[in-house]
């Protein structure tokens, strides 16, 4: 736990009332449903000068700050969302112990004892609350830093929620993701009090010493990534050459958790590609199923032979009957050098020429044999 030792001072109040304060820095907060982190005191030692005179009571208990997540806790992968958390202080005084024998107390001491108890009741106030939200899975990233929530007396909640921006990875699997909320705050740990005399106007030269410490609480809660259909390209075939039109065969697989009904894929044919056939019907794809779409692509004559990526999106109907559009799915392909296409055509010409020569040679041989056979008969 953190101990604060940065400032202590006395403040005169009314006639000769002095208040000694130890200020603690505000700390982490996290959203809870419900709070499972019990109040914990830092238990810093009382300073030597904190000894005005009498400590009539030792009081137990303190703040109990809980957090409630507002709104939905189920999101889609790839989203950046804002989590809103209401904080409420349900702190209680759980007990106290008298440090003096009431039977032997003077009237002045009894008045001081009663006054001390009125100050001790402030022990349940959480001062300068700071909340920090931490993800417990790398697929979730909290973009917001510590959030201040002010001071809450027992029974009070924040006027406005504390908010954290949370980014969910595109690669997050469907399921639950735990978040940890840490709360740090100051609270009144102890009170000492004394005075010179009791009069009709009150206690003269009364001094009150207030010792503040730091309390911490933490809890965890879950957010959820929705089940849905998701798509990946698992295979691409087809040869593309500059200044030619070819067929591209693209296999799409549903790698998500739910089926996609009546799916249609559309490609975005950016330079150096163009097409008049940019859509293909995929049908219904259950989780784990795939199908192949065929696109006719024209490649510009000035296209540079290299690897390219085409963007595609898939429109489908989900299990609730809602029209959905997938994230962009990349189709990786390549434009081959025109010489490769030319060499292929040249080889085809050579083969065709060879076949023609064989046919001609075969025909000549047949004619030759026919004539030879005719001459033999004449003889």
Residues 238 and 215 in one domain: no
Write the CA distances from 279 to 238, 239, 243, 250, integer angstroms: 17, 19, 22, 12
Same domain, 114 and 206: yes
How are strands ordered across the β-sheet holding 80-89?
A: 65-70, 80-89, 162-168, 140-142
Is 60 exceeded by the pLDDT of residue 8? no
Q: For residue 28, how many C-alpha atoms fall within 13 Å in the half-sphere facing its CB?
A: 18
Specify if 351 maps to a domain.
Answer: no
> What are the pLDDT digits (tens) for 275-315?
988 999 999 999 999 999 999 999 999 999 999 999 999 99
Q: Select from 100, 101, 84, 179 the least CA-distant residue to 136.
A: 179
State which of 225, 260, 278 marks the end of a domain.
225
Least confident of 74-88, 121-135, 336-350: 336-350
Asked whether residue 100 falls in the same domain as residue 199, the answer is yes
Residue 66 belongs to a domain: yes
173 in a domain, yes or no? Answer: yes
274 and 220, same domain (yes or no): no
Average pLDDT of span 198-224: 81
Asked if 279 and 193 sit in the same domain, the reply is no
pLDDT of residue 189: 85
Tell which of 225, 240, 262 closes a domain. 225
215 and 138: one domain?
A: yes
pTM: 0.64
Domain membership of residue 262 as a residue range: 231-338
- Token pair in block for residue 165: 């921006």
Residue 367 belongs to some domain of the structure:
no
User: What's the number of domains the chain is made of?
Assistant: 2
Tell me which residue has tokens 């973009």.
143
Report in angstroms the alpha-carbon separations of 215 from 8, 11, 48: 18, 23, 22
The strand pair at 74-75 and 207-225 is best described as parallel
Considering the domain architecture, whether residues 75 and 46 belong to the same structural domain is answered as yes
Condensed to tens digits (0 to 9), the pLDDT of residues 52-90 reads 456 666 778 889 999 999 999 999 988 999 999 999 999
Would you say residue 295 lies in a domain?
A: yes
Cα–Cα distances (Å) from 177 to 59, 74, 142, in that order, read 39, 10, 12
Residues 64 and 24 in one domain: yes
Q: Are residues 218 and 237 in the same domain?
A: no
Q: What average pLDDT is seen over the chain? A: 79
Tokens of 102: 């009431």
* pLDDT of res. 264: 97
Q: Give the distance, in angstroms, between the CA of residue 45 and the centroid of all CA atoms in the same chain.
A: 39
Task: Answer yes or no: is 305 within a domain.
Answer: yes
Asked which of 178, 204, 225 is the last residue of a domain, the reply is 225
DSSP 134-180: EESSTTEEE----EEEEEE-TT-B-SS-EEEEEEE-TTPPSEEEEEE
Cα of first residue to Cα of last residue in the chain, in angstroms, is 125
Residue 352 in domain: no
Tell me, what's the pLDDT at 88?
Answer: 96
Do 252 and 150 share a structural domain? no
Mean pLDDT value across residues 121-128: 90
CATH number assigned to the domain comprising residue 289: 2.60.40.10
The answer on 328 and 218 residing in a single domain is: no
Answer whether residue 245 is part of any domain: yes
DSSP 3-state of 226: coil
136 and 247 inside one domain: no
Q: Contact 225/202 with Cβ under 8 angstroms?
A: no
């Amino acid at each position: 736990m953190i101990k604060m030792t940065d400032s202590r001072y006395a403040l005169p109040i009314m006639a000769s009332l002095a208040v000694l304060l130890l200020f603690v820095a505000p700390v982490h907060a996290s959203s809870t449903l419900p709070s499972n982190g019990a109040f914990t005191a830092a238990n810093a030692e009382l300073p030597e000068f904190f000894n005005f005179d009498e400590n009539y009571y030792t009081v137990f208990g303190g703040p109990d700050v809980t957090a409630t997540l507002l709104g939905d806790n189920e999101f889609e992968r790839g989203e950046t969302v804002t989590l809103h958390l209401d904080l409420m202080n349900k702190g209680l005084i759980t007990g106290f112990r008298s440090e003096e024998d009431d039977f032997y107390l003077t009237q002045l001491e009894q008045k001081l004892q009663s006054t001390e108890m009125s100050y001790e009741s402030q022990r349940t106030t959480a001062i300068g609350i700071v909340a920090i939200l931490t993800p417990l899975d790398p697929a979730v990233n909290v973009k917001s830093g510590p959030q201040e929530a002010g001071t809450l007396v027992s029974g009070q909640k924040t006027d406005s929620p504390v908010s954290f921006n949370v980014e969910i990875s595109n690669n997050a699997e469907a399921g639950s993701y735990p978040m940890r909320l840490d709360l740090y705050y100051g609270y009144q740990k102890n009170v000492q009090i004394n005075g010179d005399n009791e009069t009709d106007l009150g206690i003269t030269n009364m001094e009150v010493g207030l010792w503040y410490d730091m309390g911490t609480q933490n809890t965890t809660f879950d957010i959820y990534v929705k089940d849905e259909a998701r798509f990946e390209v698992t295979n691409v075939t087809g040869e593309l050459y500059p200044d030619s039109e070819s067929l591209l065969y693209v296999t799409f697989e549903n790698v998500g958790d739910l089926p996609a009904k009546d799916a249609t894929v559309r490609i975005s044919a950016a330079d150096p590609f163009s097409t008049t056939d940019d859509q293909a019907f995929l049908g219904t794809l259950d989780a784990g199923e795939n199908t192949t779409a065929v696109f006719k692509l024209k490649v510009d004559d000035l296209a540079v032979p290299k690897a390219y990526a085409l963007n595609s999106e898939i429109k489908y109907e989900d299990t609730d009957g809602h029209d959905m559009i997938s994230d962009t799915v990349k189709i990786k392909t390549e434009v081959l050098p025109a010489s490769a296409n030319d060499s292929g055509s040249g080889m085809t010409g050579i083969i065709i020429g060879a076949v023609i020569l064989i046919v001609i040679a075969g025909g000549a041989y047949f004619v030759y044999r026919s004539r030879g056979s005719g001459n033999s008969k004449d003889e």
